[in-house]
C-alpha cells in the first residue's frame, strides 16, 4: 500500500511538472519554426540575341537577406569583385568584412547559386565569360558604402549607363535590365522627342521666313470696283 501511494504521489508530481511547463510555454506564446534568415530575392542570368545580363541589374536587400541567382539561358557566373576571383585583378568592390563568392560558370539551364548578405554596403559582381561585354550587377545591402563607392568600374567592364547608382537602387528597390539612367530632362526618350520638337519648330520658322520673303503675301494691286 505504501508503495502504491508513493507511485501515485510520484505520478502526481510528474503531471504537475509537465502541466506547469506546458502552461509556461503557452503563456509565452506559440512556438514557430524559425527560417534562420530574411527574405530571398531572385536574380536571373540570361543571354538574349547577343545581350548578356543580370535581371534585376540593381537590387536592394537588408542584412540577413539571401540572393539566389538562376541561370535562365547561356553560360554565366555570379562572381564578386575580389582579387582572388577569376579574370579580375583590380581593387576589391565589396565591403571589407564581407566574404567573397564565386558561383563558377553555369552551363545548364536552371542552375542556381545563393549568397546571404550580412555586412551593409555596396556589392559589385560580374559574369566571368561576359564581364568585358558589360554583364555586371550591383547589390546594396542596407545602405551604400565600402570600396565600390570609392571609384568607378573600368569602362571596359561597364558600358556607359549599365551600372545603376547605389542611391537609385536604394530608392527603387529593384532595377530591371536594361537600366537607362534618367535625368531632370526625362532621359533618352524625352530627349528624343524634345529634339524632334526643336527640329520641327526650327524648320517651321525657316519655312515661314522663306515663304514671307517670296512675296506671296504682298497686297495685290486690284482694280477698283466700278
Q: Is 127 marked within a binding site?
A: yes
- Contact in structure between 52 and 74 (CB atoms under 8 Å): yes
The reply to whether omega before 22 is within 30° of 0 (cis) is no
Please, is 46 exposed, middle or buried when counting C-beta atoms within 10 Å of its C-beta (0-12, 13-18, 19+)? middle
- Contact in structure between 122 and 142 (CB atoms under 8 Å): no
> Given the DSSP bridges, would you call strands 174-175 and 58-61 parallel, antiparallel or unpaired?
antiparallel
Q: Is 141 marked within a binding site?
A: no
CA 87/CA 67 separation, integer angstroms: 23
Closest among 172, 137, 142 to 55, alpha carbons compared: 137
- Contact in structure between 64 and 36 (CB atoms under 8 Å): no
Residues at the binding site are 127, 130, 135
Binding site residues for Cu cation, as ranges? 127, 130, 135
Amino acid at each position: 500500500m505504501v508503495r502504491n501511494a508513493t507511485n501515485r504521489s510520484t505520478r502526481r508530481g510528474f503531471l504537475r511538472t509537465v502541466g506547469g511547463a506546458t502552461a509556461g510555454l503557452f503563456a509565452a506564446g506559440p512556438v514557430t519554426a524559425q527560417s534562420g534568415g530574411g527574405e530571398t530575392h531572385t536574380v536571373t542570368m540570361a543571354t538574349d540575341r547577343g545581350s548578356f545580363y543580370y535581371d534585376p541589374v540593381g537590387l536592394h536587400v537588408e542584412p540577413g537577406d539571401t540572393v539566389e541567382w538562376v541561370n535562365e539561358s547561356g553560360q554565366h557566373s555570379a562572381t564578386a569583385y575580389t582579387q582572388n576571383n577569376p579574370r579580375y585583378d583590380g581593387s576589391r568592390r565589396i565591403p571589407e568584412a564581407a566574404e567573397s563568392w564565386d558561383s563558377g560558370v553555369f552551363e545548364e539551364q536552371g542552375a542556381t547559386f545563393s549568397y546571404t548578405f550580412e555586412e551593409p554596403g555596396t556589392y559589385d559582381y560580374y559574369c566571368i565569360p561576359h564581364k568585358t561585354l558589360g554583364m555586371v550587377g550591383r547589390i546594396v545591402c542596407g545602405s551604400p558604402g565600402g570600396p565600390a563607392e570609392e571609384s568607378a568600374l573600368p569602362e571596359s567592364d561597364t558600358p556607359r549607363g549599365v551600372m545603376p547608382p547605389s542611391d537609385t537602387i536604394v530608392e527603387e528597390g529593384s532595377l530591371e535590365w536594361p537600366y537607362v539612367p534618367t535625368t531632370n530632362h526625362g532621359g533618352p526618350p524625352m530627349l528624343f522627342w524634345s529634339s524632334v520638337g526643336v527640329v520641327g519648330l526650327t524648320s517651321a520658322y525657316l519655312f515661314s521666313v522663306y515663304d514671307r520673303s517670296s512675296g506671296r503675301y504682298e497686297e495685290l494691286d486690284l482694280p477698283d470696283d466700278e
